[in-house]
Each structure stands twice: as C-alpha cells, then as structure tokens.
Structure 1
Amino acid sequence: MTTWRTRIEPFTRPVFFAVSRMRRGMTLGVRGLAVDGEGRVLLVKHTYLRGWWLPGGGVDKGETTQAAVVRELREEAGLIARTEPRLISVHSNERFFPGDHVLVFSIDAFDLTERTSHGEIAEIGWFALDALPEDTTRATRDRLAEIFGGAPADPNW
C-alpha cells in the first residue's frame, strides 16, 4: 500500500537527517524481535517507509536502549514486555544514515494489547520464517537469517 507519507518520504528524509545531524553527532535506534507461540515473528509496516520491518525506532534523550525497545514495541504493536529485553546484536547503519547505529533486542515473554501509536504503523503481522512477506526489508531478512539461520552477524545494518 502506497500512502502519501511513503510518497513524500524521499523528500522529507534529507531534512530530517540534516536536523538530526545538527542536534546530535550520533543517532541510536532499536529493533525488537518477538516470536509468538507458533514460531511466527512480529513485523510492522510503516505509513512512511516501504516494506515490513522488525518494530522499533529511535532512542530518546535520557532513555536507555532497553526502555526504548519496550516503548517502541508497545507503541507500534501493542506488545507489553514481561521480561527484560535481551541484546542480540549491534549494527552500524552508515549506508543509510552516517553516524547511526541499530541495536536488536529479543523480548522472550510478552502480552498483547492495543497499540498506542496511531498514524505511524499501517499494518502489523505475525509471519512464519518461511512465509515472510515479499517486501520484507533486506535488513530485516538479514537479521532473521543471523538469529535463526546461523548466518554470520553482519556489523552493518
């Protein structure tokens, strides 16, 4: 589904990056891995980006990475963590945004409720590893192959 946000994102991204770069030298983001009782992984589709992603987002000033991933999962997917997030991997996102880093966490136990973010997420879904949507992002596929398929961890996002 192409929305107006997806269409304008290529034009607004440079402005966002310029403002972010002026405000901070390095940026930090988190992604969360949640697997349900049937072995399916949680993915989200944003209103402003193409493809399916692991849920996540930026770490706010004064926030820990663990608190950020818990917050992002709650906002984007209505997932409430019952255990502390477990760090899986750290990646440089230089190709996409110089100075950006992404940490991937696993949430091992959770409850589901209504999401608190509206307007940011177009769809959420639970997918078997062998039945991911065709437009799942390369980075998401790479992380899942590293976590579940034994692929070597790539330090680059």
Structure 2
Amino acid sequence: MTWRRAVEPYSRPLFFAWSRLSRGKTLGVRGLAVDAEGRVLLVEHTYLHGWWLPGGGIDRGETAQDAVIRELREEAGVIVTAPPRLLSVHANEAFFPGDHVLVFRIDAFEAEPFRPSGEIARIGWFQPDALPETVNRGSRERIEEALMGRPISAAW
C-alpha cells in the first residue's frame, strides 16, 4: 500500500471541505475509452484502492468535454481525436454529497506511452467481461451499462 492510500481516508474530509468552499456543488467526469479490440481503459491511482475509469473534476471555466479530454491525457496518455459522447449523468451522493459525475464514451484516440505519475500508478486495457476483481463498483457498473445492456442508474 502506498503512503497516499494510507493518508487518503484522513485527507478526504479536508479535500471535500475545500471543494465545497471553492466549488459549491461539484461536477466530475469519467471517460470510457474503448479500443479497436473492445477493451476498456482503467487506471489505478496511487491514492485509491482498485481500478477506476479515468477522470476527475471539471475546472472553473472548462467544459465537461474539455475536462474528460484533459483527464485522459493527464492520467493515461490518451489523446482524444474526436468529440467524446455523453453517455450518462450520475449523482455521487454516497461518496460526496452534492457531487455529480458525467460519463463520456471515447472511441477515437491515440495512445502515448504511459508514464507513471504521482497520481496514476498504472493503466490497463481490459475486456468488459474480464475486468479485474478490484475494479471500483461504480466504474464496473458504468461499463456494464454502456457495453453490456445493464439499465442506467442515476446513482454512481
């Protein structure tokens, strides 16, 4: 376990308080990048357990599409080459009251070599029916909704 994962449960309240003060309600994005083989991109953070769809918060003055494009490049070296398509909107009340997450599908992109960072330890491309055991529940459900016919949930 990295030190970031050990500290995260204690730093989360401070991060949430700062987010609430600086943003009011919060809005984030997640990108569902699907390659030519039908595999989906997942990232493993240095500060959270498990695999997640890449994404993050929308910065002030940034569109949701710009945010998901930025996040994929920053986290995984994926350069989006066509507009992302909005798939769904989810309330993230269980994790952070007032937070919402937009999920975008990305089919057109180029991949640069991945370079681990302070935020992302590694990336992986997985078949939707063979996801790692430690994939985040919300990420698993969004993949199943988009690619396997699961009904879309309003909650993350």
Change (3 A) 1:116 1:29: farther
Q: Which runs of 4+ in 1 moved over 6 A?
A: none
TM-score, normalisation: structure 1: 0.96
CA distance in 2, matches of 1:117, 1:71: 16
Paired position in structure 1 for 2:139: 140
Pairing 1:74–2:73 present: yes
Alignment of 1:37-76 (within 5 A): 37-76=36-75
Secondary structure at the aligned position of 1:20 is classed as helix
CA distance in 2, matches of 1:108, 1:128: 15
Paired position in structure 2 for 1:21: 20
Cα RMSD, aligned residues only? 1.2
Q: Deviations over 1:39-94 (max 9, x none)?
A: 11000000011110000000000000000000000000100011001000000001
Secondary structure at the aligned position of 2:86 is classed as strand
Q: Deviations over 1:4-59 (max 9, x none)?
A: 00010000000110111122210010000111111110000000111100000000
Percent of pairs identical after alignment? Answer: 65
Q: Confirm or deny: 8 A CA contact 2:128 2:144 kept in the other structure.
A: no
CA distance in 2, matches of 1:155, 1:119: 32
Unmatched segments (≥5 aa) in structure 1: none
TM-score, normalisation: structure 2: 0.96
Unmatched segments (≥5 aa) in structure 2: none
